Structure 1
């Protein structure tokens, strides 16, 4: 897609220790939605970055002609699939959960710049979702410009409370249209355990996956303070 603009990335000459620390949570760089989705796909598809295209069925030809670029190892990709699933199952994106579709993803909440400084009251909230997480086929991205919290979100306007539900609703609608049947309940538990295996047994046990209490509100409350 040659029409897609180049991302904004600091030059090597201006890249200091502060950039290294802040770039991890999105400050100092800028990408568009297509680039973000391509990056998310490469993280969960086994670690290969494939150039986006609007032509159906062109990815195989694209990979053959241009070559997919490995950006992470297959082991790391498997671990990221598991972690992104946990973000939805037990983390900040519970609002994106859709029965039978095993959604995984990552929330994003960025302060907007007003004048020459970051604002504490204006933000861009987003969520990039992949499904089904154990064998990803689709990426869904939602970005909301300066959303406002309400009673349903307990006043929070972060990505997990505002953008994640959008992706969840999209997945619930397009899953059947894509002829992607939901995973049966009796198969879901075994599939999820297999998905999480790359994290190691100690990590899985420490997660207490049978825990029913909702810690999300507590997490958001701590962030607010």
Structure 2
């Protein structure tokens, strides 16, 4: 592990990464307090009946499979001042009609001296008929609709949930609340999510969590040409009908609100900036024997030395090589591209309600050591959603297409953010070589043309980088020669096993799961095997020794 991690940890982590933890904790508290206040409390006085609550539009997945529908139900209420019989008699009559009611709780509500009280929500239509048949003056069973989520916890971080009065509290239910409740719009809303793929990804992530004893996992799969998010998984997830506020980890959408230092999967972004600014070329060679910045000595996870080609630096994930490239590009250009790629602001255009802003030093505070560490994924904390958004133009030919959870039926033009048309072609070569010769080999699938990058970042514990706790990630795209999808997946705090020979990095822990996800995707979507010739790339991994 880099000596920089241990020498620089106190100054760097306390000023930057500890802030990330505090902000994440603060967001957790805010989310929980908000949810508690909205979903658990009932107003003392009700100015509208359940019949006046909105009937929400149904949500379907991209293939028309229902995800959020409305089921007829009823809510039992009382107007105590209208009741003419003794309250205890009324309570007993109600229990006879609806045995699930509890006598003492019911009697207390009737004796509360309120003009209106809810007695029980979400009773069945049959229960409603029984209450009406009892004919108790001052007691009503009002018909309404209950939101039902067909996929249970599988899509809880995407769809979110509603309160008793059909107000959206999280996810798309909250982010698109006004549109979903619009009485003038009756058509169902098609999401970009593929619910079958969602369950495939969830299954593979849960297996990876179990295999490596990880704390959790998350993944995003998107179409790089349309910006549609087709899978968005957070594990652990939560039951939208039984919110457990004692487990905030399950409630938070780590894909959209969790900010992390991502490690080496940031390297494709720096490489792409280098190509696009003509700072580097595929034939360039760098001496990676030593790199010292200020008083800090940069080291690689697997020690390297001598002249290395751009392809070797990328495939073998050399921190020293990327550090030298970043210093050559310079602060101004890297900050400019970070802005264009969307790495400096919250992604507020997506339809879910949970967003977070990246955490990085102010531009005026950047130094050479900041630039160097950012090059290999330290010193900047972003959400997985930010990372996927930034990688899309690098993969698709240079066009930034806004991510969306809605199915797009019309082509979107996007914004050109990369100027050199060869930038993507060069990145395809590097990402492919990472799968055939580099750290992504465990995700390589013969003839399916997979490429990408792995990353591993040490987590901060009490202001210092931990030697044992890490976030291990994989970014993959396929087919590389004509990219269609980007797959991003992360394991939180995986542990090494005998099979990984003591390693818990992204290439050992997350890559095998990504391989299975891509295999199953290729079968589901009928993606034909399309071998891509590698012979012409061989010299990139084996440059002439006198080429300097």
Which TM-score band applies after superposition, normalised by the shorter structure? 0.7 to 0.9
Q: Distance in 1 between matches of 2:460 and 2:418?
A: 31
User: Superposition pairs for residues 27-106 of structure 1, below 5 Å?
Assistant: 27-57=378-408, 60-61=411-412, 63=413, 67-71=414-418, 73-106=420-453
Larger-Rg structure:
2
SS at match of 1:13: helix
- 1:204 is displaced (CA, Å) by 5.8
Q: Distance in 1 between matches of 2:391 and 2:419?
A: 11
Q: 1:148 aligns with which of 465, 474, 495?
A: 495
- 1:202 is displaced (CA, Å) by 4.5
SS at match of 2:392: helix
SS at match of 1:139: strand
| Corresponding residue of 2:365 | 14
Q: Is the 8 A contact 1:48 1:72 kept in 2?
A: no
Runs of 4 or more consecutive aligned structure 1 residues displaced over 3 Å after TM superposition: 204-207
Structure 1: stretches of 5+ with no match in the other structure: 208-225
Instruction: Quote the RMSD (CA, aligned, Å).
Output: 2.1
TM-score, length-scaled by structure 1:
0.78
| Corresponding residue of 1:192 | 533
Q: Distance in 2 between matches of 1:206 and 1:18?
A: 29
Q: Distance in 1 between matches of 2:359 and 2:525?
A: 34
| Corresponding residue of 1:26 | 377
SS at match of 1:168: helix
Q: Distance in 1 between matches of 2:388 and 2:409?
A: 17
| Corresponding residue of 1:135 | 482
- 1:35 is displaced (CA, Å) by 1.5
**Cα–Cα, structure 1 residues 76 and 151, in superposed 2: closer, same or farther, change >3 Å?**
same
Structure 2: stretches of 5+ with no match in the other structure: 1-349
Q: Is the 8 A contact 1:50 1:59 kept in 2?
A: no
Q: Distance in 2 between matches of 1:25 and 1:205?
A: 23
Deviation track 1:93-115 (CA, whole Å, cap 9, x = no partner) reads 11001233111011100000000
